[in-house]
Amino acid sequence: MMRSLKRWLGVFVLAMFLAGCSSGGGAPLPPEAPAAPSLTAHDGYIAVSWTAVSGASSYNIYWSTTTGVTKATGSKISNVTAPPLDHGGLVNGTPYFYVVTAANAGGESAESPEASQTPADAGAGADPLYTSQWHLNNGTTPIEDVNVVPAWSVCGAGNTCRGEGIRIAVVDNGLEIGHEDLAANVAAGLSYNYVTGSSDPTGGAHGTSVAGVAAARDLNGLGVRGVAPRANLVGYNLLQSPTVSNKADAMTRNAVDVHISSNSWGPPDGYGTLDASSLAWKTAINTGLTTGRGGLGSIYTWAGGNGDSGVCPAVGCYDNSNYDGYANNRGVMAICAVGDNGFKASYSERGANLWVCAHSSGGASGITTTDRTDTDGYNTNTTAAGGDYYSNFGGTSSATPLASGVVALMLQAKPSLGWRDVRLILAQTARQNDAGNAEWTVNAAGYNINHNYGFGTIDADAAVTLAKTWTNVGAEVTYTTALSAPNQPIPDNNATGVSDTITVSGSGISTIEFVEVTFTAANHTYSGDLEITLTGPSGTDSIIAETHVCPTGCSTYSGWVFGSARHLSEAVNGDWILTVKDGAPPDTGTFQSWSLKFYGR
């Protein structure tokens, strides 16, 4: 009896142990391998579907352009929550091979059987809304567009002239990666959702419209096209969770794989306040410049700002792009906006930090681009093209991705360009728009410069043409002056002001690429009164602050860093003069200190 009871207890314990190994009593077993995936070919992408596996919490997709793909040999798209997945950014006519695995807390399954499919151009023809995209091809005022059509018309071998192989990260409030006119260009697995941690940032009409300006798919019989219509898109919905750490992360995420970071965001416009960027963000930008793209440097385009007029009702209430600690950073290109008439858009902020302008709203027409599908975006019309597209996008938010797309064309034409080379090419090839504007002048190196327009409007064909034959410049050199502390009272409501001079010698820089001015007048009780001008040895002026109203109160100038692009290619050595004027009563203060930092070669 006792022996039988012991035998029974042993069997019971063994059964319970085995049950615990395969159920809730312990770690679960990995799921079974899925069946072979089902693949559907499209123009530039493949829809990958598979049958869900019991017990799986996520799936991984491994793919390659050669057969025999395994977990060890394939490129991995991880943590896909459920089928299907649109694998975009593919080359038409190239076979792609796929296997799928299932995963849970117990681990990852074996690979499914392999499946293969080849994406192909559907030959659907023209994009029906392209005729409304005047910023690409302006039939009314032919000179006032981005001049991209000639660049599209000189494709090389393999019809590659539209941004193929270049990835643009849209850092914004979301990107609808399944949009009919974007899906073919979305780089699978690289996007990031800062709320859920997934690779799907779908949401955000703003970001979806930005993406379409840069890289909506062309010649698919749908909607619109981007300026770089075969470039790949990556979406980061940073603005859904804009913490200090997330802002820094978005600047370096996938820095090896992403070429261009397009940023149509910044501090609130129109309040005239100083809005600083964090040390973490600045560090991330510097990291991207030095390590991005295999050491060639990530390209950062940034909205110059929409706060010049019409944002608040007070007289004299406007922003300058130099009050934005993101847009005036030397590592980004601040992009301003002009309308379809070539004139400054009323909202587009002035600034010595501006690099180039691109076309946007502000004239008679807005920008036609992609929108969230159906009624989820700006356009809630459900008829015809319906809510999938929007014809009144604008601001420097639209000018910035237009510039990003042009950079993609440049990098496709010559992938070895460094981040500084891209900037120099854009400055050299910019077109002088609004030629009658009185603020145009020529700096000592021969560049046209204007506080409204930077170096002028971006010219895609000229930029791509020069990029093809460009020789990269040498290593960057920096020079920082000693701090000068004049501690001079600033005369109140006085047109003359006070000045101080820093004499530079032995800088080791013969050609300037950017200048930073660090300025302090911390005891001035209303910093908006101040106009601050930097004058270089050659006589070029940079107005880095202007007298303005701050409707919610002005920030103080306490170690504020201004930026100027206007001295591009001028010499460093010589006398640099900073003049500070107080343009309105009754507040007073002191010009306490300043210093300069030069970047160049």
Residue 22 has pLDDT above 50, yes or no: no
Alpha-carbon span 372 to 172, nearest angstrom: 14
pLDDT band at 139 (very low <50, low <70, confident <90, very high): confident
Q: 13 falls in which pLDDT band (50, 70, 90)?
A: very low
Name the pLDDT band for 352 (thresholds 50, 70, 90): very high
Does 155 have pLDDT greater than 80? no
Segment holding 190, helix H or strand E: none
Task: State yes or no: pLDDT of 9 exceeds 70.
Answer: no
Q: Say how far apart CA 351 and CA 455 lie, in whole Å.
A: 11
Nearest to 421 by CA among 375, 463, 365, 379: 463
Phi, psi of 446 (to 5 degrees): 95, 10
Region 419-423 average pLDDT: 98
Structure tokens at 461: 């064909």
Q: In the chain, pLDDT over 90 holds for what percent of residues?
A: 83
Segment 426-459, tens digit of pLDDT: 999 999 999 999 999 999 999 999 999 999 999 9
Do 38-117 and 130-469 show the same overall fold?
no
Q: Each residue of 184-213: pLDDT tens digit?
A: 999 989 999 999 999 999 999 999 999 999
pLDDT band at 18 (very low <50, low <70, confident <90, very high): very low
Res 91: pLDDT: 81
Residues 394-403: what's their mean pLDDT?
Answer: 98
Q: What's the average model confidence in pLDDT over 274-278?
A: 97
- Domains of the chain, by residue range, sit at 38-117, 130-469, 477-600
Contact 236, 208 (CB under 8 A): no
Question: Residues near 157 by Cβ (< 8 Å), separated by ≥ 6?
Answer: none
CATH code of the region 130-469: 3.40.50.200
**Whole-number pLDDT of residue 384:** 47
Q: Which CATH number fits domain 477-600: 2.60.34.10, 3.30.750.210, 2.60.120.260, 3.40.50.150?
A: 2.60.120.260
Q: How far is CA 11 from the centre of its chain?
A: 65
251: closest CA among 369, 332, 346? 332
38-117 under CATH 2.60.40.10, yes or no: yes
Please state the rounded mean pLDDT for residues 33-37. Answer: 95
Helix/strand/coil (H, E, C) string of 285-348? HHHHHHHHHHHCCCEEEEECCCCCCCCCCCCCCCCEHHHECCCCCCCEEEEEEECCCCCECCCC
Cβ neighbours of residue 103 closer than 8 Å, sequence gap 6 or more: 30, 31, 56, 57, 58, 59, 60, 109
Residue 247 has pLDDT above 80, yes or no: yes
Nearest alpha carbon to residue 467 among 137, 145, 161, 136:
161
Distance CA 129, CA 152 (A): 18
CB 350 within 8 A of CB 564: no
Q: How confident is the model at residue 92 (pLDDT cuts 50, 70, 90)?
A: confident
In the predicted structure, residue 358 carries a pLDDT above the cut 90: yes
pLDDT-derived band at 11, boundaries 50, 70, 90: very low
pLDDT band for 20, please (50, 70, 90 cuts): very low
Sole residue written with tokens 């009871």? 5
